[in-house]
């Protein structure tokens, strides 16, 4: 039997949350009534710790290095030790938990329940509670690790830095996330698609005097936009005050996923001198900044 005779092993991609669901999860987690639930979800989402590493954190895990705070992880699954930079919000949550925990001389574990090590099921429940409150279905603690890695690689973080952050022993583990850099793939795909589509949609140009009144009428009819109960005959170069009707609705909710598109629409409105559209898109961008 040769190596080529063996069946090809499956290489499933890690399951992660997209930006919109990740934002909903953190927002919901911050409103949970139990302090441990808020701490668990936020730390897992912002550090990429494995569940076992999180539960194994010691009371002296937070250390000061230079001008920043770092989180020293315990020897875990791969018998590696590493330091993770601490987000200020995570540091605040850990300080709150330390005050809530109080003095427990019989254990050095940070997370305990009545003096005993916090069970893994308690972490599962915390993530499940946040996911339920966010209305995004079933989520596991390990998905938050995959989500952080995916967010990082989609925003340009190097594979070496991601490997150090997650504590990967080999780059082959980190390369898995290179296969799910959806934002990068999507941007390049649509850029190429636009060029290819132009080959099929380009209309042959006619001399200015070649189009008579009948041909112009036919072309205008062909460019009409179909609506619910008729057609819109507005010329393409004429603005319409209903173009942003949905964005002015009280039920419209902008999400961070569409920030780039909203910024592009805002710039387009500025370029056309359309003050009404400028105000609408500027207000949407302001809402996104306040909700970040």
Strand partners, 117: 112
pLDDT grade for 89, boundaries at 50, 70 and 90 = confident
The token duo for 234 is 């507005």
Q: In the 3-class helix/strand/coil scheme, how is 166-201 assigned residue by residue? A: HCCCCHHHHHHHHCCCHHHHHHHHHHHHHHHHHHHH
pLDDT of the residue at 224: 55
pLDDT of the residue at 10: 47
What is the SS3 assignment for 112? strand
How far apart are alpha carbons 21 and 17 in whole angstroms?
Answer: 6
How far apart are alpha carbons 130 and 47 in whole angstroms?
Answer: 17
Q: Is 72 exposed, middle or buried (0-12, 13-18, 19+ CB in 10 A)?
A: middle
How far apart are alpha carbons 105 and 100 in whole angstroms?
Answer: 15
For the chain, give the percent of residues with pLDDT over 90.
16
- 55 CB contacts (<8 Å, ≥6 apart)? 109, 111, 117, 118, 120, 123
Tens of pLDDT, residues 8-27 = 454 444 577 888 888 899 89
pLDDT grade for 40, boundaries at 50, 70 and 90 = very high
For residues 177 and 251, the model is more confident at 251
pLDDT grade for 135, boundaries at 50, 70 and 90 = very high
Per the CB < 8 A criterion, the answer to whether 17 and 25 are in contact is yes
Short-list 111, 112, 138, 135, CA closest to 43: 111
Phi, psi at residue 106, to the nearest 5°? -85, 0
What average pLDDT does range 123-138 have in this prediction? 93
pLDDT of the residue at 122: 93
Q: Residue 290: how many CB atoms within 10 A of its CB?
A: 7
- The hierarchical CATH code for the domain 19-183 is 1.10.443.10
Tens of pLDDT, residues 217-243 = 655 554 555 555 666 666 655 666 667
Most confident of 52-66, 80-94, 164-178, 225-239: 52-66
What is the pTM (predicted TM-score) of this model? 0.55
**Helix H segments across the chain?**
19-29, 35-47, 51-55, 88-101, 120-134, 141-154, 159-166, 171-178, 182-201, 213-222, 259-271, 275-291
The pLDDT of residue 64 is above 70: yes
Average pLDDT over the chain reads 76
How far apart are alpha carbons 141 and 162 in whole angstroms?
Answer: 18
pLDDT grade for 38, boundaries at 50, 70 and 90 = very high
For residues 176 and 263, the model is more confident at 263
Tens of pLDDT, residues 153-192 = 777 777 677 777 777 666 666 656 555 555 555 565 556 6
Tens of pLDDT, residues 181-213 = 555 555 655 566 666 666 655 555 556 566 566
The pLDDT of residue 247 is above 80: no
What are the sequence ranges of the domains in the chain? 19-183, 208-291
């Amino acid at each position: 039997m040769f190596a080529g005779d063996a069946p090809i092993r499956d290489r499933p991609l890690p399951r992660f949350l997209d930006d919109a669901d990740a934002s909903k999860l953190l927002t919901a987690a911050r409103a949970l009534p139990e302090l441990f639930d808020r701490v668990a979800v936020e730390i897992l989402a912002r550090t990429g710790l494995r569940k076992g590493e999180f539960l194994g954190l010691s009371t002296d895990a937070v250390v000061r290095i230079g001008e920043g705070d770092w989180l020293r992880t315990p020897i875990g699954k791969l018998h590696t030790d590493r330091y993770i930079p601490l987000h200020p919000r995570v540091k605040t949550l850990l300080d709150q938990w330390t005050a809530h925990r109080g003095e427990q001389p019989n254990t050095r574990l940070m997370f305990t329940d009545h003096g005993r090590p916090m069970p893994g099921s308690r972490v599962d429940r915390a993530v499940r509670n946040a996911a339920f409150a966010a209305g995004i279905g079933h989520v596991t603690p390990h998905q938050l690790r995959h989500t952080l890695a995916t967010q990082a690689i989609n925003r340009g973080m190097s594979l070496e830095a991601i490997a150090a952050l997650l504590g990967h022993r080999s780059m082959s583990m980190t390369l898995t996330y290179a296969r799910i850099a959806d934002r990068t793939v999507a941007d390049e795909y649509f850029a190429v698609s636009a060029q290819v589509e132009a080959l099929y949609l380009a209309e042959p140009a006619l001399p200015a005097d070649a189009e008579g009144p009948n041909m112009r009428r036919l072309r205008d009819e062909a460019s009409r936009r179909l609506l619910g109960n008729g057609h819109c005959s507005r010329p393409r170069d004429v603005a319409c005050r209903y173009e942003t009707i949905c964005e002015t609705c009280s039920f419209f909710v902008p999400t961070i996923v569409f920030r780039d598109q909203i910024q592009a629409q805002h710039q387009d409105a500025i370029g056309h001198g359309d003050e009404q559209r400028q105000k609408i898109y500027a207000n949407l961008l302001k809402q996104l900044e306040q909700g970040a």
